[in-house]
């Protein structure tokens, strides 16, 4: 595939994926993804709809889930727990980073 | 071909049982897995550990590995003469083949890769790489060259690690830790399988003036005491060039002055803000005249910056 056909997409809240797209891009099956949703590791934008839609950032979470499942030979509930804890760590790191950015640095 | 001592990598004896090998792998995976480790070299170490376990964790591959004999790590060696038959090609040259690729080929041979591979549709591999860029590059968008070593099949269907250079356009909207997915820029798909994607993790170099939080920027704004009290119009740097900022009278240290939409551009459009944090600084060596004026101020001012100390003590706190 040439450069001209490449699509560059920021994986943020602004980009959305369907369940099928998420499965195709993460290496997890749709059934495994449903389990991750059941355990609360990822949350669709529209949890009450029959056709779930996920934010771009969810792709990173489920790709991590796939890597962890393979590397640690984990069951879905173990994957979900690990991913939820990692997400909390990332959120806390972002908060620390933001607070650190707001701290005045000593003037030389 | 260079020898790798998989037993030494996992820290187990050559006689170790399957359970011990699994335990050693898991222990090292906990330590070095890139998703859970803070070790900057964790990813490379984990790759090494995973490669060792991939072979030693599988009885068939472990037996084949043991047959190679024992060498020093990194030592050049030749597999036994009939070893190539495992790959259905006794004439196969092991010259520039990596040991890991050889064992990957051993399992892939049964799943469609390797010589005489079937017609299974195999999606290409996704690549993940960190792109280090400056704040100025993130602000404008940029093009970067990335050097990756990626696995590729040769004409005979064997995997080789090949160095490749990727030229990648990073559009505006980047910030630290943000990910960009470039469709179809990963490994080639086989037999009609889709091409893999390239995932870029953006890492911003620290900037001497601006600190980054999401798409907002923070800048320390040093003010002289009289500027803070009387107010001033000062020039401050932004990523688009200097702008004038009106500092209101009676500005306190630590107060944040917001310069709307002077931060980093966001992927969805719009921009973050720039916050100038007021800092009140004094001259390192005030002149005699400055000292005289400060003394006059001290004598005539009734301002007590520590008034609340006494108040709190009075309240019994």
Question: pLDDT (tens digit, 9 = 90+) per residue, A59-102?
Answer: 999 999 999 999 998 998 999 999 999 999 999 999 999 999 99
Give domain limits for chain A: 3-102
**Higher pLDDT among residues B102 and A80, named by residue:** A80
Q: Does domain B210-306 have CATH number 2.60.260.20?
A: yes
Q: Does domain B6-111 have CATH number 1.10.287.110?
A: yes
Q: Which residues in chain A are contacts of B178 at CB distance < 8 A? A: 10-12
Q: Do A97 and B167 touch (CB under 8 A)?
A: no
CATH topology of B6-111 equal to that of B210-306? no
The alpha carbon of residue B183 is apart from the nearest alpha carbon of chain A, in Å, by 5
The alpha carbon of residue A52 is apart from the nearest alpha carbon of chain B, in Å, by 21
* Model pLDDT for residues B1-45, shown as the tens digit of each residue: 788 999 999 999 999 999 999 999 999 999 999 998 888 889 889
Does B235 have pLDDT greater than 50?
A: yes
Does A5 have pLDDT greater than 80?
A: no
Q: Which residues in chain A are contacts of B277 at CB distance < 8 A? A: 102, 104
Q: Do B254 and A7 touch (CB under 8 A)?
A: no
Which CATH number is B127-204 given? 2.60.260.20
SS3 for chain B is: CECCCHHHHHCCCCCCCHHHHHHHHHHHHHHHCCCCCCCCCHHHHHHHHHHHHHHHCCHHHHHHHHHCCCCCCCCECCCCHHHHHHHCCCCCCCCCCCHHHHHHHHHHHHHCCCCCCCCCCECCCCEEEEEEECHHHHHHCEEEEEEEEEEEECCCCCEEEEEEEEEEEECCCCCCCCEEEECCCCCCCECCCCCCCEEEEEEECCCCCEEEECCEEEEEEEECHHHHHHCEEEEECCCCCCEEEEECCCCCCCCEEEECCCCCECCCCCECCEEEEEEECCCCCCCHHHHHHHHHHHHHCCCCCCHHHHHHHHCCC
Give the nearest partner residue to B178 out of A10, A72, A98, using CB atoms. A10
Largest Cα span, chain B = 99
**Residue B105 banded pLDDT, cuts 50, 70, 90:** low
Residue A100 contacts B, CB cutoff 8 Å: yes
**Residue A14 banded pLDDT, cuts 50, 70, 90:** confident
pLDDT at res. B315: 84
Give domain limits for chain B: 6-111, 127-204, 210-306
Q: Are A83 and B37 in contact (CB under 8 A)?
A: no
The alpha carbon of residue B27 is apart from the nearest alpha carbon of chain A, in Å, by 10
Which CATH number is A3-102 given? 1.10.1660.10
Q: Do A71 and B29 touch (CB under 8 A)?
A: yes
* Model pLDDT for residues B251-292, shown as the tens digit of each residue: 999 999 999 999 999 998 899 999 999 999 999 999 999 999
Give the rounded percent of residues in chain B with a pLDDT score beyond 90: 61
Q: Are strands B232-236 and B243-247 parallel, antiparallel or unpaired?
A: antiparallel
Q: Which residues in chain B are contacts of A63 at CB distance < 8 A? A: 199
The alpha carbon of residue A21 is apart from the nearest alpha carbon of chain B, in Å, by 13
- Nearest-by-CA chain B residue for A1: B184
Q: Are A96 and B206 in contact (CB under 8 A)?
A: no
Residue B227 contacts A, CB cutoff 8 Å: no
């Amino acid at each position: 595939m040439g450069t001209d056909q490449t699509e560059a997409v920021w994986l943020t809240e602004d980009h959305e994926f369907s369940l099928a797209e998420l499965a195709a891009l993460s290496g997890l099956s749709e059934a495994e993804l449903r389990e991750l949703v059941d355990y609360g590791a990822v949350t669709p934008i529209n949890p009450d709809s029959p056709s779930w839609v996920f934010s771009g950032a969810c792709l990173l979470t489920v790709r991590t889930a796939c890597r962890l499942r393979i590397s640690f030979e984990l069951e879905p509930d173990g994957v979900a727990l690990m991913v939820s804890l990692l997400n909390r760590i990332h959120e806390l790191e972002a908060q620390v980073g933001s607070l650190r950015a707001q701290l005045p640095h000593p003037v030389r | 071909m260079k020898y790798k001592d998989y037993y030494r990598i996992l820290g187990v004896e050559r006689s170790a049982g399957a359970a011990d090998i699994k335990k050693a792998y898991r222990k090292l995976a906990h330590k070095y897995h890139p998703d859970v480790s803070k070790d900057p070299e964790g990813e490379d170490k984990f790759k090494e550990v995973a490669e060792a376990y991939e072979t030693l964790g599988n009885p068939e591959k472990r037996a084949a590995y043991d047959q190679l004999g024992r060498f020093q790590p990194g030592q050049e060696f030749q597999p036994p003469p009939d070893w190539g038959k495992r790959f259905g090609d006794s004439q196969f040259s092991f010259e520039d083949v990596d040991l890991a690729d050889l064992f990957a080929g051993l399992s892939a041979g049964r799943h469609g890769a390797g010589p005489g591979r079937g017609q299974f549709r195999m999606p290409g591999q996704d690549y993940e790489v960190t792109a280090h860029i400056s704040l100025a590059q993130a602000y404008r968008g940029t093009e970067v060259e990335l050097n990756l070593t990626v696995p590729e099949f040769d004409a005979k269907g064997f995997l080789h690690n090949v160095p490749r250079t990727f030229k990648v356009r990073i559009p505006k909207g980047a910030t630290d830790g943000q990910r960009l997915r470039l469709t179809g820029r990963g490994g080639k798909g086989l037999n009609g399988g889709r091409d893999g994607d390239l995932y870029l993790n953006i890492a911003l170099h620290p900037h001497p003036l601006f600190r980054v939080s999401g798409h907002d920027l923070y800048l320390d704004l040093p003010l002289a005491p009289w500027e803070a009290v009387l107010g001033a119009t000062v020039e401050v740097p932004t990523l688009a060039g200097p702008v004038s900022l009106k500092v209101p009278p009676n500005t306190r240290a630590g107060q944040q002055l917001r310069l709307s939409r002077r931060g980093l551009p966001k992927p969805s459009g719009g921009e973050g803000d720039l916050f100038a944090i007021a800092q009140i600084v004094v001259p390192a060596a005030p002149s005699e005249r400055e000292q005289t004026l400060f003394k006059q101020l001290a004598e005539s001012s009734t301002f007590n910056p520590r008034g609340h100390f006494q108040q709190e003590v009075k309240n019994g706190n």
